[in-house]
Structure 1
Amino acid sequence: MRRTITILGETVLPGQSKTIDMEIAKLHNTAKLKIPIIVSRSKIDGPTVLFSAGIHGDEINGVDIVRQIITKKINKPKRGTIICIPIVNMFGFVNMSRQFPDGRDLNRVFPGSKNGSLASRFAYHILTDIMPLVDYAVDFHAGGASRFNAPQIRLAPNNAELKTLADVFNAPFTLYSKNISGSFRNSSQKLNVKMLLFEGGKSLDINTSVSNTGIQGVKRILDHLDMLDPKQTLEKQENKTIYIEKSAWIRAKWSGLLHDNGYIGAFVKRDTVLAIITDPFGKFEHKVKAPNDGYIINANHAPIVYQGDAVYHISKTLVDGNK
């Protein structure tokens, strides 16, 4: 039994809850910038689960999900340990920016370096000081650049354990996607941490439905691991997650004003008119049509688009989730 857990020099005993502040660097005005790590332990031994968000500082919907996990006391485990980091990239969150102040994407610099760039140092300490303690993790993200993601889990193909966890989480969609070099998910897998990546909503936005989907998925994961506090209730779900093996982006053929027809999350037939692109002067109206039957798993909510911009993400190949 793991009697003690030590993070950044602070020890958390069984039955304890503690907030540990991670301080790697200060703001340019010398003000301290603390990243709270909320640790809750049961007196009964069990797995350690991490719920993290805000690796991209402008993806606030994930921050809201982890916040609610804490405020609703979902992070008080029946057994084992739950670690919550609502905001990993506090620098980006303060600036409402995706990147670190050094211009780097934190989710592309893992495993990082102790003496590297600011983002690289953060990646190093997360992997060195936290992830060796973790057995399971869910990292929460949102779509960037005004693109709204239908709630979805992403996982690497050919991993039976992750497939089981994705079935349990039961988001509306589950996408098979290879781990990206330099990503948190890729480095965590190398440490044998079983991590799901959740995508939902868009940057600089909070969507209640997306938050609820994430929270219910977290409860199901904890229930599956026999960690959910008996005081918590589970919503009954009849629909099973839809597995998507291949998908493609539909790109704008014209520049102009984008009028979205609201098909996010829906199954559409080929040639369904997903949007209209118009010019500001009433000269033209062009239809954006679905190139094939499929589910719309991402929609661009920007009012203005340029030729070549990604406007919709549509599934191409579905797989039997029971396999």
Structure 2
Amino acid sequence: MTASKPLTILKETILAGESKTINMEIAKLHTMNKLKIPIIVERSKTDGPTVLFCAGLHGDEINGTEIVRQLIVQKINKPKIGTIICIPIINIFGFVNKTREFPDGRDLNRVFPGSKTGSLASRFAYHILKEIIPHVDYTIDFHAGGASRFNAPQIRIVPENQELKQLSDIFNAPFTLYSKNISGSFRSACDKLGVKMLLFEGGKSLDLNDAITQEAIEGTKRFLAHLDMLNPRKKVIFSERKPIYIEKSSWLRAKFSGMFHGVAVIGAFVKKGDLLATISDPYGKVEHKVKAPHEGYLINVNDAPFVYQGDAIYHISTHLEKES
């Protein structure tokens, strides 16, 4: 969509050169109090693409919300050309309750495209796709790891899509994972509607991490500079670092229950047999060593103080894309 055309979201029109915050109200709390989801729109007077920055599909992944908040605070969301839409929190119910899911127990990121008359989560999915996504050309959706699992900063894209690969190269997170679209996900729904999405993962739920936030902000500025949308007052840092592309990866699971003492550092390259962690009892009698089953990069590390047998504790790359 070009900036010169009026943009109408939820029956509110934003003209070229205007800034407006639109409140999306779909359902109330069980106390009958209203919950408003702010949609922050910044439009240039000059034609250009429309980009959506969003977070909080999972209400407890607050680092994504902090990233989008920083984009607003630093005025990175004021475009040189085109339009930038920011939604810092989509699942406002989960954010209030510090939970991943909606009050109906559903994962919003598994119910797209949703239904106008379905469950609460399904209705939110429906209105996001109906009211916002038809105006959007590009999206970056910011996430964090769940259940105390800390994600290294990474972009996830579908395999064999050269345009997304180019955008991922430009964003230049330390890692890029090839992962297929999951049925019912926001990413899958956007793909079907022709919207180009980068999914950013970094940090863990119910946690704020400055290093993760900064990685995402710098990557976003490079992304906007590529589209010629970056506010000219903002400096962009281009790095010679190349993303490490991971084609396949696997989870290492705990063989024992106990107190978890991590040794390996997130993002590190480990060799087969390297010590990753120990799992001990609380009484000083038992200590089990956790060793790397093969070489690879640690792209997710469990930060929990204790684990149960079968818990996912490390996500390790198994196959890297060869440099062309």
Question: What is the TM-score of this pair, normalised by structure 2?
Answer: 0.98
- C-alpha deviation, 1:189, in angstroms: 0.3
Describe the superposition over 1:86-135 as per-residue Cα deviations: whole angstroms up to 9, x where unpaired: 00000000000000000000000000000000000000000000000000
Residue in 1 that maps onto 2:124: 122
Residue in 1 that maps onto 2:32: 30
Q: Please state if 1:207 is matched with 2:214.
A: no
Q: Distance in 1 between matches of 2:265 and 2:290?
A: 12
What is the 5 A alignment of 1:12-161? Answer: 12-161=14-163
> Which of 303, 306, 311 is residue 304 of structure 1 equivalent to?
306
Q: Distance in 2 between matches of 1:250 and 1:261?
A: 15
Opposite residue 82 of structure 2, the aligned amino acid is G
Q: Distance in 2 between matches of 1:21 and 1:150?
A: 33
Q: Distance in 2 between matches of 1:10 and 1:290?
A: 55
Opposite residue 213 of structure 1, the aligned amino acid is E
Q: Distance in 2 between matches of 1:235 and 1:283?
A: 51
Describe the superposition over 1:47-68 as per-residue Cα deviations: whole angstroms up to 9, x where unpaired: 0000000000000000000000
Residue in 2 that maps onto 1:249: 251
Opposite residue 143 of structure 2, the aligned amino acid is H
Q: Distance in 1 between matches of 2:193 and 2:288?
A: 49
Q: Distance in 2 between matches of 1:191 and 1:132?
A: 8
> Which of 179, 185, 188 is residue 186 of structure 1 equivalent to?
188
Q: Distance in 1 between matches of 2:135 and 2:14?
A: 12
Residue in 1 that maps onto 2:8: 6
Q: Please state if 1:293 is matched with 2:295.
A: yes
Q: Please state if 1:164 is matched with 2:166.
A: yes
Q: Please state if 1:197 is matched with 2:192.
A: no
Q: Distance in 2 between matches of 1:201 and 1:175?
A: 16
Q: Distance in 2 between matches of 1:308 and 1:37?
A: 40
Q: Distance in 2 between matches of 1:125 and 1:3?
A: 22
What is the 5 A alignment of 1:269-280? Answer: 269-280=271-282
Residue in 2 that maps onto 1:224: 226
Opposite residue 175 of structure 1, the aligned amino acid is L
Q: Secondary structure at the match of 1:286?
A: strand
Q: Distance in 2 between matches of 1:225 and 1:278?
A: 51
Root mean square deviation, CA, Å: 0.8
- C-alpha deviation, 1:165, in angstroms: 0.5
Q: Distance in 2 between matches of 1:144 and 1:256?
A: 20
- C-alpha deviation, 1:281, in angstroms: 1.1
Q: Secondary structure at the match of 1:163?
A: helix
Opposite residue 290 of structure 1, the aligned amino acid is A
Residue in 1 that maps onto 2:320: 318
Opposite residue 35 of structure 1, the aligned amino acid is I
Opposite residue 143 of structure 1, the aligned amino acid is G
- C-alpha deviation, 1:230, in angstroms: 1.0
Opposite residue 267 of structure 1, the aligned amino acid is F
Q: Secondary structure at the match of 2:219?
A: helix
Maintained 8 Å contact 2:264/2:275: no
Identity of counterpart residues, as a percentage? 69
5+ long unaligned stretches in structure 1 = none
Q: Secondary structure at the match of 1:20?
A: strand
- C-alpha deviation, 1:237, in angstroms: 1.3
5+ long unaligned stretches in structure 2 = none
- C-alpha deviation, 1:236, in angstroms: 3.3
Q: Distance in 1 between matches of 2:52 and 2:22?
A: 14
Maintained 8 Å contact 2:154/2:202: yes
Q: Secondary structure at the match of 2:132?
A: helix
Q: Distance in 2 between matches of 1:187 and 1:104?
A: 17
- C-alpha deviation, 1:249, in angstroms: 0.4
Residue in 2 that maps onto 1:173: 175
Q: Secondary structure at the match of 1:127?
A: helix
Question: What is the TM-score of this pair, normalised by structure 1?
Answer: 0.99
Opposite residue 160 of structure 1, the aligned amino acid is Q
Opposite residue 224 of structure 2, the aligned amino acid is L
Q: Distance in 2 between matches of 1:268 and 1:295?
A: 6
Q: Distance in 1 between matches of 2:56 and 2:152?
A: 18
- C-alpha deviation, 1:43, in angstroms: 0.2
